[in-house]
Amino acid sequence: MRPHLLLVPLLATFIAASDWPHYGGGPDQTRYSPLTQITPANVHTLRTAWTYDTRDAFDGSEMQCQPVVAHGVLYATSPKLRVFALNAATGAEIWSFDTNHDAKTLTRTRIRGLMYRERGNDRRIYFASRHWLYALDAKTGKPLPGFGQEGRIDLREGFEGRDPRTLSVGVNTPGVFYRDLMIVGSIVPEGLPSAPGDIRAFDVNTGRQKWTFHTLPHPGEFGYDTWPADAWKYSGGANAWSGLSLDERRGYVYAATGSASYDFYGANRTGDDLFANSILCLRASTGERVWHFQGVKHDVWDRDFPASPSLITIRHDGRQLDVVTQTAKNGRLYVLDRDTGRPVFPMEQIQAPASDVEGEKLSPTQVLPTLPPPYTRQRFTEDLITKRTPEAEKAVREEWLKLRKGGEFDPPSTQGTILFPGMDGGGEWGGTAYDPKSGLLYVNANEMAWKVKLAERKMPDGEATTGKILYERYCASCHRPDLAGNPPEFPSLVDVGKRRNVDEIESAVRDGAGRMPGHPELHSAVRRAIVDYVLTGRSGEVRGDMPTPFDVKYTLDGYIRFTDPDGFPAIAPPWGTLTAIDMNRASIAWQVPLGEVPGSGLTNTGSENYGGPVVTASGLLFIGATNYDKKFRAFDARTGKVLWETTLPAAGNATPAVYEVNGKQYIVIAAGGGKWGAASGGSYLAFALP
């Protein structure tokens, strides 16, 4: 079959419809493939075409990468962020590039895709590992010496007024290309201190920074008055960690940002905190703001926009309308006019409750979309308490009665507040898939409640502080004040000295590991005081660590999912769903539970899911994502009926890619697992018809 070619003028190259050259399928982030060889009628005959074992999996590792495919070559990463190229038809390795970062301790980390750029015969791969952004020759896997220094640039550089040695900055989701610019967001620490979430453009050939959009506005910039006067010097976050989308014809890049740091207490960032929790439209050539829409003012719920915006066209008021759709952790879909940022459907302004925590000043109002309807339940009411067993129901009800449960925008408290949907959504980083023929948009979601409780911490006094105070400042939000953590995602530090030596632990504090950010800004005496407190409980004095604007009086008492005594969700099923939204009617077309949780004693439960869907022109939707049953499924995109499924060697916590080589269509997915204690894996599996 001869590939059909689509002209993309701004890239000055031809991209075949049979390829999957971009994270999300294309810069519009619709996760749509025009391929039709695999259909609802024959999908039940799918077989494994090839398997590639990276041999890099380790206990607790994850692999969330969606491959890119061009000219019969597949590019992806391993759990240790080794980059490789495979023959996309056979899975045979062509080349491999190792950053050599895996020599560091506790190297659990992840990225969700690579960036592929083609201009004539010049084909390149860009990706980030820790604070380095690399450019590789796509044909050989060798670094391109003209890019930065020997093929890489330091992402910590270029932040006005910030010492790069004190910053932790990376890119875990691909950006977009516009002409000779590579535009990216960033991943930064959720606590303080933190780098600002600037959106930046780099020259694709030299690596030089060409423009910056400050998501924490500087003096004289729009939005500066929504922060304290000097917040841009010390605060952070408001970062577009979930990727970007691009409208090449308009020359606009779209971004969705997360919350400002610190996530759960904002006494040191009074105001609405623009451009945190915002959908942004920027001129791709300059970074100039065209419009913005803020979804949450002064966020203290970690209500990031968790996926890149999708650019679609719908029928509205009798005409075709180009829009931006944005999934959210609150289980709602935001639909905005692509040119103006105005909501397409009505929005509701609600009165938001005040906080009773000292120093916290929340916005008195918030806005919520009313259409399309929410794709998750919106409040954990008493009738939704689990009935899995009488013992589970009794224990959950007792805990439920103790917690605040006012619903949307009920603030974190020292009493403890139910957050539902939880910190992992609602919607998550897998985003949405859109079929332009049917007008159906597909989104997978979690329906898991979390508990948000604040703990008061002792503030430094004068010029001296202690190891305990430092631990509470930098570590307690994840590992909890009592060091117990919330395993397996946030490991206990009790008796960590039996598992790691002093140098390994101090290295992890300095360099970070997995979700844990590094703290390179801390001098060695401070790091050693933290390590000594963790290992011995001694809280020795450290001098010269004066209180700073990022000393917050209240921190999160751990990232805690609300579960029954056996570890199953406290809320009744479904615990995860897959939903089709008719965008032309702003209504739910269908919804089904997604996944099973083995051992729960229940069926058709749905499960927590991480990864996203893809949809094909033949009317099929493919998705892995389910965290515990390790299934990879094909659904009838019109009805939600499962037409095919297979069990992967580890959970497919990634988004598949669809492509064609030599007239044969393939679907490939990473089976990395490792989320919430699930077994880790390191294989990519491709499926095709016999």
Looking at per-residue confidence, does 499 or 360 come out higher?
A: 360
Give me the architecture of the 460-546 domain, per CATH.
Orthogonal Bundle (1.10)
State the pLDDT at residue 544: 56
Confidence of residue 497 (pLDDT cuts 50, 70, 90): confident
* Structural domain boundaries in the chain: 19-452+564-662, 460-546
State the pLDDT at residue 532: 75
Tens-digit pLDDT profile for residues 8-44: 333 434 457 899 999 999 999 999 999 999 999 999 9
Q: Which of 162, 211, 213 is nearest to 189 (CA)?
A: 162
Beta carbons of 554 and 459 less than 8 angstroms apart: no
Tens-digit pLDDT profile for residues 150-198: 999 999 999 988 889 889 999 999 999 999 999 999 999 887 878 999 9
State the pLDDT at residue 110: 84
Which three-class secondary structure state does DSSP give residue 497? helix
Chain position carrying tokens 């979700």: 515
Q: Is the pLDDT of residue 139 over 60?
A: yes
Which three-class secondary structure state does DSSP give residue 164? helix
Tens-digit pLDDT profile for residues 232-260: 998 999 999 999 999 999 999 999 999 99
State the pLDDT at residue 468: 75
**Average pLDDT of the segment spanning 76-94:** 98
Give me the architecture of the 19-452+564-662 domain, per CATH.
8 Propeller (2.140)
Query: What is the spatial distance between Cα 195 and Cα 201, in angstroms, rounded to a whole number?
Result: 17
Instruction: Tell me the pTM.
Output: 0.91
Beta carbons of 197 and 137 less than 8 angstroms apart: no
State the pLDDT at residue 10: 39
**Percentage of the chain exceeding pLDDT 70:** 92
State the pLDDT at residue 202: 99
Q: Which of 612, 618, 619, 620 is nearest to 669 (CA)?
A: 612
Which three-class secondary structure state does DSSP give residue 165? helix
**Average pLDDT of the segment spanning 56-78:** 97
- Residues pairing with 453 in the sheet: 413
State the pLDDT at residue 1: 34
Q: Is the pLDDT of residue 394 over 60?
A: yes
- What does pLDDT average to over the chain? 92
State the pLDDT at residue 154: 98
**Average pLDDT of the segment spanning 597-615:** 97
Q: Is the pLDDT of residue 548 over 60?
A: no
Confidence of residue 4 (pLDDT cuts 50, 70, 90): very low
Beta carbons of 584 and 315 less than 8 angstroms apart: yes
Q: Is the pLDDT of residue 491 over 90?
A: no
C-alpha 372 chain-centroid distance: 23
Tens-digit pLDDT profile for residues 414-442: 999 999 999 999 999 999 999 999 999 99
The bridge status of strand 541-543 relative to strand 450-452 is unpaired
Q: Which of 659, 553, 538 is nearest to 116 (CA)?
A: 659
Tens-digit pLDDT profile for residues 112-130: 999 999 999 999 999 999 8
At position 395, the amino acid (one-letter code) is: A
**Average pLDDT of the segment spanning 223-228:** 98
The bridge status of strand 132-137 relative to strand 152-154 is antiparallel
Beta carbons of 178 and 284 less than 8 angstroms apart: yes
State the pLDDT at residue 493: 82
Beta carbons of 67 and 684 less than 8 angstroms apart: yes
- Residues pairing with 541 in the sheet: 466
Q: Is the pLDDT of residue 385 over 70?
A: yes
Q: Please, which residues have CB within 8 angstroms of residue 347's CB and are 6 or more apart in sequence?
A: 367, 368, 369, 370
**Percentage of the chain exceeding pLDDT 90:** 78
Return the CA Rg of the chain. Answer: 24
| DSSP sequence for 379-436 | ---GGGB--SSHHHHHHHHHHHHHSB---TTPPPBSS-EEESSBTTBSEEEEEEEEET
Q: Which of 22, 18, 143, 6 is nearest to 75 (CA)?
A: 22
Confidence of residue 460 (pLDDT cuts 50, 70, 90): low
Confidence of residue 664 (pLDDT cuts 50, 70, 90): very high
